[in-house]
Amino acid sequence: IIAVNWPGVYVIDDQEQVLLELSFPEITQILSSKSSGRQQSNSFTIVTIKNEEYTFTSNNADDIRDLIINFLEGLKRKSKYVVVIQDFEPQGSGLTIRRGDVIILEDQPRLNSMGYLFGYNERTGATGEFPCECVYVLPTLSKPPQEILQIFTLQWSDDNQQKGQNEHLFSGFSVSGNNNGEFLPEKGYTLEKYAETNFRVPPKRSWSNTFARRGSTHNSGDHLWAFQKEPLRQPLLKKLQEKLELSEEACACFMNILKYMGDYQSNLRRRATNELTDAIFDPALKHVCFDFIKIFFYIRSNSIKQIL
């Protein structure tokens, strides 16, 4: 089983034991291939900064590969962390950098006409401009552990540089256009924004549910997108309201999320460790209109950090 979330890529067995863990800063390239013969199957290969290669074969290989690439490119566009892969000594003004240095880009990064960035060198405490070809953008929103950063100093090679898909490293930066060369981070998508156009209209407030809200430990008001631990009586998506079978399946899907997280007690014993996870993800994979709204709905404003 391959699991992909914001920290990285995980390979787990049917007992949910982690067999392999790769954080996104460790991944430099994703390759794809197709096997020949009677039984054709798709494969993709993850290449790491240690030049290790992990190949996976699956009927859904292309989808998994695209998902990982989307994570990598999205994190790079939002990242403020770059690591130096080539020494640079400015002739005049500029920032002296050495291989392995971590540079934090300024709040409003700018790639000037010479292809230079401006940032803060953690090692020297100095700030200044440096050429973008001397650094590698780390696909992360927080500073990676030191052991990962050391690999860039000890094991980064020209082969890594070629495999690093350099054409995508600064896809979020512009040297021309209406934004005057400024890098404007993409606005994050929110469930609240999605709910404005896709969720059903919330029920009108009555005396009974008003008192119920006041007595609740988590007051979500009339926001359907807010976190709650109560089972759904009707689906969130308005396009499912006229489809009885899909509506029931959607509510059952959210019930299984509550059971999995221990928020809804059930006397029935699970036959397998993946019974509930299958019941959660199968409907979303089978019906495109489901998306993964139920999961985001549960996570939204949830104070339990373990779910992340």
Q: Is the model's pTM score more than 0.85?
A: no
Q: Is the pLDDT of residue 293 over 70?
A: no
- State the CATH class of domain 2-78: mainly beta
Q: Give the CATH number of domain 81-168.
A: 2.30.30.40
Structure confidence at residue 10 as a pLDDT band (50, 70, 90)? very high
**Maximum mean pLDDT: which of 110-119, 206-215, 217-226, 248-257:** 248-257
Q: How many other C-beta atoms can be found within 10 angstroms of the C-beta atom of residue 1?
A: 11
Model confidence pLDDT, tens digit, residues 281-291: 888 777 766 65
Average pLDDT over residues 219-239: 74
φ and ψ at 279, to 5 degrees? Answer: -70, -25
User: pLDDT by residue (tens digit) across 19-46?
Assistant: 999 999 999 899 887 665 555 678 999 9
pLDDT of residue 308: 41
Identify the CA nearest to 152 among candidates 61, 85, 94. Answer: 85
Q: Which residue bears the tokens 């988590």?
A: 218
- Topology match between the domains 2-78 and 81-168: no
* pLDDT tens track for 187-219: 556 777 878 888 888 766 554 444 444 444 444
Instruction: Decide if pLDDT at 230 tops 70.
Output: yes
pLDDT in tens, 135-191: 999 999 999 888 888 888 777 655 555 444 444 445 444 433 344 444 444 555 677
Residue spans per domain, the chain: 2-78, 81-168, 191-307
pLDDT of 304 strictly over 70:
no
What are the start-end ranges of the E strands in the chain? 2-5, 8-12, 18-23, 27-34, 42-48, 53-58, 81-84, 102-105, 116-121, 127-131, 135-137
End-to-end CA gap in the chain: 19
> Residue 103's pLDDT is what?
94
- The burial class, CB within 10 Å (0-12 / 13-18 / 19+), for 295 is middle
Asked if residues 82 and 63 have their Cβ atoms less than 8 Å apart, the reply is no
Report which of residues 263 and 41 the model is more confident about: 263
pLDDT in tens, 83-100: 998 999 998 888 999 998
Which of 81, 99, 102 has its CA nearest to residue 89? 99
